[in-house]
Each structure stands twice: as structure tokens, then as C-alpha cells.
């Protein structure tokens, strides 16, 4: 215990220091040690006040989330430790650096005073894990900064900086110099001025502006920004209880609702993604100490929408970019689009003009390959055509310096074929960005047969530098994301041939939680894009019904949003149902001899998800994805699957692989085995009563 908490006397001040690297999480041993330290403080007659401070790079960054799956919690549980600090018979001052998040901020609010360095961040991000601040946070924060500001912090989960914190009353003092000395001086000031101890549980909430309409406003906001999520409503209910009930009763409401959140499938899904996103960079055969190549300058081949979006990521990471196009007109158009995008952010107040100017200074353009001979990384973002990419990589092989990483943004094509057009396939990697590339967080890092480990390690470091969620994928058609997405869209298309309208399929998908339905997605990307992807796939199923509606729309030049007609009619971006599309689907079904029938909402969602899950099982078995969690991260960050579902593979684990296996067998009996043959891995795990997650951990 002494290694976790040290108790040191400096005159009449006790310095209680937590040292639980890497982030001073409030796990069982730390809670127990802190509880013992408070007992020592209370019994130490020579001490007049205490400073609670942390070693390392941060204050307490939260509770130990891994304990949340191991109920019951070991005593002392965090709310009890917070209360014990508040009940201390001497002033306790929290001295904050780094981040005071979640349970860390709740500990700080249990203290009687709070000070922080200017760079500190404070927040209650539990909502991002499907939880609420369950260690008295929903009760203390409204008492400290007011109901509306407390709701803003808890419902968004976003931290605030020290300047905001002192303005809102969350902290009492900013320490400009050395934190320990400043906090001790602050403690002495409190004693000298005899400032009364402030115990938040005894503090009344300011109800001046608290009305029923206030809570309704936040509920309406939730319906827009967090529709479907479980925890936000429970947070509002906790704050309502804080306003309406005595503290002990409202605290019981918080405790009950916290356990409801903790035991919900939503929180399980969000906690799964929390850990999965921290696991993705662990590549079994790429050691942590693998040498990293320096990336000081980048070139992007292709100044279109995708190339420009990719460039913006590097500019915002202060990495110089050369944008290359075949002619000056196309190059200037691409640069102008980047400038326009930044200008729009400045106009909306999301970016400072000085930052825009800085980014544009880092951008240069060229129409000559020789001008990118000194770059450390080049990313090809030209049209999705193997012949075009072949010529690009042959040229890059000739002009790029030794050791430069040659990357392709291809979304479906064979990276190994592309790499073989160079004499250095070991330097070739896939960096598959998702549109819009400057906004979407996902980056598929595609490993070729000959890609070296240091190139992979560099790609992961780079993904973090440009604030992307990088996930490793092997080489196959569509890699992980698109390979799984095609069966999902395939079933959506086939159900149209069976008589289900596009809007009903999309509605069912959205009601389940998808950000957009499959047909709205294909209209957004373009029916022409999907047709060309499928048409160019050499090994696509020999089935005349495969993407038949997409093909018919392509031939009618109904490409989607870009032509204002696709599976929907568009007024701007507003999608309007078009009866003609149902007629087109019916006509194509008649040509194919497909009978139209009634299909339930339950079957719609099962077919969409089972098609995706079964393909995911094949991807795992083939080694295209390392872990099932990697697939889940891809779908949560790139395909609009709600975080509270945890990803397609986690969802399958949650409902049971036996259920998924049985559903697929039922579809096989009804529709045949062309698409509905259970993946061997799925069948194996279903019969063993195991999960994809267990298989991933023990393979």
C-alpha cells in the first residue's frame, strides 16, 4: 500500500500522494490505500490540512473500468471513499495536473477545495461508456457549478480546461508555478484566512433557473444527438433527483440508476469498444520497440475530394504536404477546395484564421512527379482502377527516395498486385481513408504480403498523429470494412426484389441504431460507385440477382444524391420516397422469377446483420482481421454502427452465436446455401458455446 499512497508531513500540512501508474486509476488497492490515508489524517493531531496530489503525468484519470465486469465491487467502493474525504475533520485540497476525469473528478469534488495547473483538464466522460457518474458525481457537480452547466458536462462527456473550470466554479485556484508548492501555499492561505470547509453534500442547489422546461430542453437535445443511447436519460433523472430530493435519497437514485446503466447491454457494448480501441495497435508479430521511420513530408497523388481530404489530416498535424495532379487546372481546383473547407470552419468559429493560414502555408502543389522525390510518405488517391494505379506506382518507384513509404488509398483492389508494380514491395502499404477523409476517424491499415514491420509500426504511429483510429487488415477484396458491408447491402437489395421498399429497410436499420440505412448509404456513395465495385470484382457471386437493383439504377443514370435520383429522390440532401424504384425492383424480380412476399421487420434486421456477422467470421478465420474487436472498431468508427451495440461481432456474442448460427441455417433452408452457408468458425464456436471475443483472446 505504501507504494501507492505516501503520507508526508510538511509543517502542519499533510501531502497525500497517489502513485498508481500509468494514469493513477482508482482501483481497489488505491481506494483502500486512500481510505487508510484519510484515517491517518483524521487521527494526526499535528496536521491542520491535507493536499491530495498525484505522481506521474496526470491526476486520477478515472476508475478502473476493468473492475466493472467483476461484481460485486470490492469495498471500499468509490462513492464511500469520496464521502470519507468530504467527512474529513480537516480541509483537504485536491491539486490537479493532467486530467481529472470520471472518478478522478469525483474524488476532487469530495475534497473541500480544488486547485489546478493551467493545462489541466476536468470532466465526467462516463456517458461515453454508457454509464453515469456513479460516485456522487451527478449530485455534487450541480451543487458546484449549477444544473445546466453540470448537465452540459455530463451529457457530452467533454472535459473543460482549467480556465473554464475556475470561471464556472469547478476549481478554486489556478497554480501558475510548481503545483506542489502552490497547493501547499493555497492550503496555508485557507488556514490563515480560516476559510470554512465546503462540503458539497451539505450545499443547496441553486434552483433559480431550474424549471421543467430546462430538463425538457436537454431531453430534446438528446433525441437529436444521442438518440437510442441509454445513459443520457438516466443522467437527467439523477440531476432531477438532486434538485427535488434530500441528498441521501437522491444519492440512492444515482446508485440505482448507475447499476441499471452498468448492467445494460448499451454499457457493455460501449465498454467493449473502449478496450478494443486500446487493443488495435497491438500486432502480435510487430514488437513495441520496432523502429519507426520519420515522416517529415508527405505527398498525395490526386487532388480530388478524397486526396484533398487526406491532405488536410496531415496539414492539421503540421506535416508539409505536396498535392500532385496531372494538370494545373485540377491541381488548383483541389487546393481551392481545401482552402474553402478551412474558410468554412473559420466562418463557423471552429478554427482560428491563424491556423488556416498556417495550414495553407504547409500545402504546395505540383504536376510533376520529380517534385516529390524527397517525401517520406506518398499516398496514392487516384481513381479506383488497377491500370491507373499500376502506372502511378511504377512512376513512384522511379522517383521516390529509398526508404519512402508508398501507400495506396484503395478500398477494394489487391494491394499485393499494386506492390508488385514496384521493386520495393516491402515499402508498400494500404492506407484506406473513409470519406470525408478529413472528418471520418477510421483508417484501415492494409498489410501486404511483403510489407515490413517497421512500415506497419510507422503507419500506426502516423494514424495517431493525424488523429485517426488505425486498424490493421489483411489483403482481400474489400479488406475488412467493405468486404463485410457488401453482404449487408446485398441482402438489402435482395429484399427489394422480394417486395420490401427501400425506405422500410432503411427505417428498420435506423431503428436498430444505424446512422443511415443501407440504401441511403449507397445513394450517398453513388449507385455508379457500387456498380463499378461489384462489376470490377472478378470473384463476385455468379448470381443474376446480385446487386440487380443497383445495376438497373446505374443504367438509368440514377446514381443517387449526385444526380438527385437514386433509390430516393433528393431535394438537396432530403430523401423522398419514389414509387418508381419499387416498380423497377418488381420488374427486375419478374425477369428473375423472384416471388415477392411479406417480410417482417425482425427478418429484415436479422438478414442484414447475419450476413455481416457471417462474413466477419470468415474474415477472422482467414486472418484478415486479428481480433473480433478490430472488426467492431472498424464498424463503430467508419460505418455508422452505434457504439452502444459494441460492433457486429460483439453484438453476435451478446445475443449468442448459437442464435446467429440457427438464424443463418433457417435462411439457408429458405433461400439456399449460396449466401447462407454458416462460416466454419461460427459453427464451431456456436456448438462449443463460446464467443468471438473468447476465440480472439485464446487463439
Cα–Cα distance for residue pair 46/12, rounded to 1 Å = 6
Give domain limits for the chain. 5-262, 298-473, 477-597, 600-699
Contacts of 508 (CB under 8 A, 6+ apart): 517, 601, 604, 605, 608
Q: For 312-349, what is each residue's pLDDT tens digit?
A: 999 999 999 999 999 999 999 999 999 999 999 999 99
352 is catalytic: no
Correct CATH for 477-597 of 1.10.1040.10, 3.40.50.1000, 3.40.47.10, 3.10.310.40: 1.10.1040.10
pLDDT of residue 104: 97
In degrees and rounded to multiples of 5, residue 53 shows phi and psi of -140, 165
pTM equals 0.94
Catalytic residue among 126, 240, 254, 380: 126
Which are the contacts of 316, defined by CB distance < 8 A and separation ≥ 6? Answer: 359, 438, 466, 467
**Looking at residues 55-80, what average pLDDT do you find?**
92
Residue (of 7, 22, 166, 5) closest to 98 by Cα position: 22
Above 50 in pLDDT, residue 65?
A: yes
Q: What is the pLDDT of residue 1?
A: 42
- Cβ pair 117, 162 in contact under 8 A: yes
Q: Is 14 exposed, middle or buried (0-12, 13-18, 19+ CB in 10 A)?
A: buried
Residue 224: its pLDDT value, please?
Answer: 87
CATH 3.90.226.10 at 5-262, yes or no: yes
Question: How confident is the model at residue 311, as a pLDDT?
Answer: 97
Q: Give, in degrees to the nearest 5, the angle at Cα 42 between 41 and 45.
A: 85
Nine-digit cell string for 94: 485536491
Q: Rounded to whole angstroms, how far apart are CA atoms 35 and 29? A: 10
For residues 312 and 668, the answer to whether their CB atoms sit within 8 Å is: no
- The whole-angstrom separation of Cα 385 and Cα 59 is 51
Is residue 301 scored above 70 in pLDDT? yes
Q: From the centroid of its chain, how far is CA 242?
A: 31
Average pLDDT, integer, range 277-288? 96
pLDDT above 80 (res 699): no
- Mean residue pLDDT across the chain: 96
* Weakest mean pLDDT among 41-45, 120-124, 532-536, 558-562: 532-536
Please state, for a pLDDT cut of 90, what percent of the chain lies above it. 94
pLDDT at site 70: 82
Residue 43 C-alpha cell reads as 487521527
Whether residue 351 contacts residue 325, with contact meaning beta carbons closer than 8 Å, is answered with no
Q: For 477-504, what is each residue's pLDDT tens digit?
A: 999 999 999 999 999 999 999 999 999 9
Number of helical H runs and strand E runs in the chain = 29, 19
**What is the grid cell recorded at 668?**
439457408
Task: Check if 106 is active-site.
Answer: yes
136, pLDDT greater than 90:
yes
CB 172 within 8 A of CB 114: yes
Tell me: the pLDDT tens digits for 84-113?
A: 999 999 999 999 999 999 999 999 999 999
Taking residues 151-168, what's their average pLDDT? 97
Q: Residue range 440-464: average pLDDT?
A: 98
Could you report the per-residue pLDDT of 549-602, keeping only the tens digit for each?
A: 999 999 999 999 999 999 999 998 899 999 999 999 999 999 999 999 999 999
296 sits in which H/E element: none
- What Å distances lie between residue 697 and 331, 412, 566, 628, 651, CA to CA? 48, 28, 43, 9, 17
Q: Where residue 681 falls among pLDDT bands split at 50, 70, 90? A: very high
Q: Reading across the β-sheet that carries 113-116, which strands appear in turn? A: 5-10, 13-18, 49-54, 92-96, 113-116, 173-174
Strands (E), 527-676: 569-571, 574-576
Q: How far is CA 230 from CA 39, 42, 237, 263, 640, in A?
A: 38, 40, 12, 11, 18
CATH number belonging to domain 600-699: 1.10.1040.50
Three-state secondary structure of 589-603: HHHHCCCCCCCCHHH
Residues 6+ apart with CB under 8 A from 370: 399
- The string of pLDDT tens digits covering residues 363-407 is 999 999 999 999 999 999 999 999 999 999 999 999 999 999 999
β pairing state of 428-433 and 405-408? parallel
Question: 380: closest CA among 458, 327, 475, 302?
Answer: 302
**pLDDT above 70 (res 422):** yes
Among residues 67, 86, 106, 168, the one annotated as catalytic is 106
Residue 209: the pLDDT is: 86
5-262 and 600-699, same CATH topology: no
Select from 3.40.50.2000, 3.40.50.300, 3.30.70.100, 3.40.50.720 the CATH code of 298-473: 3.40.50.720
Count of CB atoms within 10 A of residue 514's CB?
24
Amino acid at each position: 500500500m505504501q507504494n501507492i499512497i505516501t503520507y508526508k508531513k510538511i509543517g502542519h500540512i499533510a501531502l497525500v500522494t497517489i502513485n498508481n501508474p500509468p494514469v493513477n486509476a482508482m482501483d481497489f488497492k488505491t481506494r483502500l490505500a486512500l481510505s487508510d490515508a484519510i484515517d491517518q489524517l483524521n487521527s494526526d493531531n499535528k496536521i491542520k490540512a491535507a493536499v491530495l496530489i498525484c505522481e506521474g503525468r496526470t491526476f486520477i484519470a478515472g476508475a478502473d473500468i476493468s473492475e466493472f465486469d467483476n461484481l460485486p465491487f470490492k469495498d471500499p467502493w468509490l462513492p464511500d471513499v469520496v464521502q470519507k474525504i468530504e467527512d474529513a475533520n480537516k480541509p483537504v485540497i485536491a491539486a490537479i495536473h493532467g486530467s481529472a476525469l470520471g472518478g478522478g473528478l469525483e474524488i476532487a469534488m469530495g475534497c473541500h477545495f480544488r486547485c489546478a495547473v493551467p493545462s489541466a483538464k476536468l470532466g465526467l466522460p462516463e456517458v461515453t461508456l454508457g454509464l453515469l457518474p456513479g460516485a456522487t458525481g451527478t449530485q455534487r457537480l450541480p451543487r458546484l457549478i449549477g444544473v445546466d452547466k453540470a448537465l452540459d458536462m455530463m451529457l457530452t462527456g467533454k472535459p473543460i480546461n482549467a480556465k473554464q473550470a475556475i470561471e464556472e466554479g469547478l476549481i478554486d485556484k489556478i497554480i501558475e508555478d510548481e503545483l506542489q508548492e502552490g497547493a501547499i501555499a493555497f492550503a496555508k492561505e485557507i488556514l490563515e484566512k480560516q476559510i470554512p470547509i465546503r462540503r458539497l453534500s451539505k450545499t443547496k442547489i441553486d434552483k433559480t433557473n431550474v424549471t421543467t422546461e430546462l430538463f425538457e430542453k436537454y431531453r430534446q437535445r438528446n433525441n437529436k444527438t444521442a438518440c437510442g443511447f441509454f445513459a443520457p436519460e438516466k443522467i437527467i433523472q439523477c440531476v432531477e433527483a438532486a434538485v427535488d430530493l434530500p441528498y441521501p435519497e437522491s444519492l440512492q437514485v444515482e446508485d440505482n440508476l448507475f447499476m441499471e446503466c452498468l448492467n445494460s447491454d448499451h454499457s457493455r457494448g460501449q465498454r467493449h469498444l473502449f478496450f478494443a480501441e486500446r487493443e488495435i495497435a497491438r500486432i502480435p508479430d510487430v514488437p513495441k520497440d520496432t523502429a519507426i521511420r520519420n515522416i517529415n513530408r508527405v505527398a498525395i497523388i490526386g487532388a480530388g475530394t478524397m486526396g484533398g481530404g487526406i491532405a488536410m489530416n496531415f496539414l492539421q498535424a503540421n506535416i508539409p504536404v505536396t498535392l500532385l495532379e496531372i494538370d494545373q487546372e485540377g491541381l488548383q481546383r483541389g487546393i481551392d477546395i481545401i482552402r474553402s473547407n478551412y474558410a468554412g470552419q473559420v466562418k463557423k468559429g471552429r478554427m482560428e484564421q491563424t491556423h488556416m493560414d498556417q495550414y495553407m502555408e504547409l500545402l504546395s502543389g505540383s504536376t510533376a512527379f520529380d517534385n516529390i522525390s524527397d517525401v517520406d510518405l506518398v499516398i496514392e488517391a487516384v481513381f479506383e482502377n488497377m491500370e491507373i494505379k499500376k502506372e502511378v506506382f511504377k512512376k513512384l518507384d522511379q522517383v521516390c527516395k529509398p526508404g519512402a513509404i508508398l501507400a495506396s488509398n484503395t478500398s477494394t483492389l489487391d494491394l499485393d498486385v499494386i506492390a508488385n508494380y514496384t521493386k520495393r514491395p516491402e515499402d508498400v502499404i494500404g492506407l484506406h481513408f473513409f470519406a470525408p477523409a478529413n472528418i471520418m476517424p477510421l483508417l484501415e491499415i492494409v498489410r501486404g504480403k511483403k510489407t515490413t514491420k517497421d512500415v506497419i509500426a510507422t503507419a500506426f504511429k502516423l494514424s495517431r498523429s493525424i488523429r485517426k483510429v488505425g486498424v490493421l487488415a489483411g489483403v482481400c477484396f474489400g479488406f475488412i470494412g467493405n468486404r463485410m458491408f457488401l453482404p449487408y447491402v446485398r441482402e438489402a437489395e435482395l429484399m427489394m426484389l422480394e417486395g420490401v421498399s427501400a425506405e422500410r429497410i432503411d427505417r428498420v436499420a435506423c431503428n436498430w441504431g444505424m446512422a443511415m440505412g443501407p440504401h441511403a448509404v449507397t445513394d450517398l456513395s453513388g449507385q455508379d460507385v457500387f456498380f463499378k465495385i461489384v462489376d470490377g470484382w472478378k470473384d463476385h457471386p455468379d448470381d443474376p440477382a446480385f446487386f440487380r437493383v443497383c445495376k438497373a439504377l446505374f443504367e438509368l443514370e440514377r446514381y443517387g444524391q449526385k444526380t438527385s435520383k437514386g433509390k430516393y429522390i433528393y431535394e438537396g440532401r432530403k430523401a423522398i420516397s419514389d414509387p418508381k424504384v419499387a416498380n423497377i425492383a418488381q420488374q427486375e424480380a419478374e425477369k428473375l422469377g423472384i416471388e415477392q412476399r411479406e417480410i417482417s421487420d425482425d427478418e429484415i434486421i436479422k438478414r442484414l446483420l447475419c450476413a455481416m456477422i457471417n462474413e466477419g467470421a470468415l474474415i477472422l478465420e482467414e486472418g484478415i482481421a486479428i481480433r473480433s474487436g478490430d472488426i467492431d472498431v472498424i464498424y463503430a468508427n467508419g460505418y455508422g454502427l452505434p457504439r452502444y451495440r459494441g460492433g457486429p461481432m460483439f453484438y453476435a456474442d451478446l445475443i449468442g452465436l448459437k442464435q446467429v448460427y440457427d438464424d443463418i441455417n433457417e435462411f439457408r433452408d429458405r433461400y439456399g446455401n449460396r449466401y447462407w452457408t454458416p462460416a466454419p468458425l461460427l459453427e464451431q464456436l456456436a456448438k462449443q458455446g463460446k464467443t468471438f471475443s473468447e476465440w480472439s483472446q485464446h487463439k
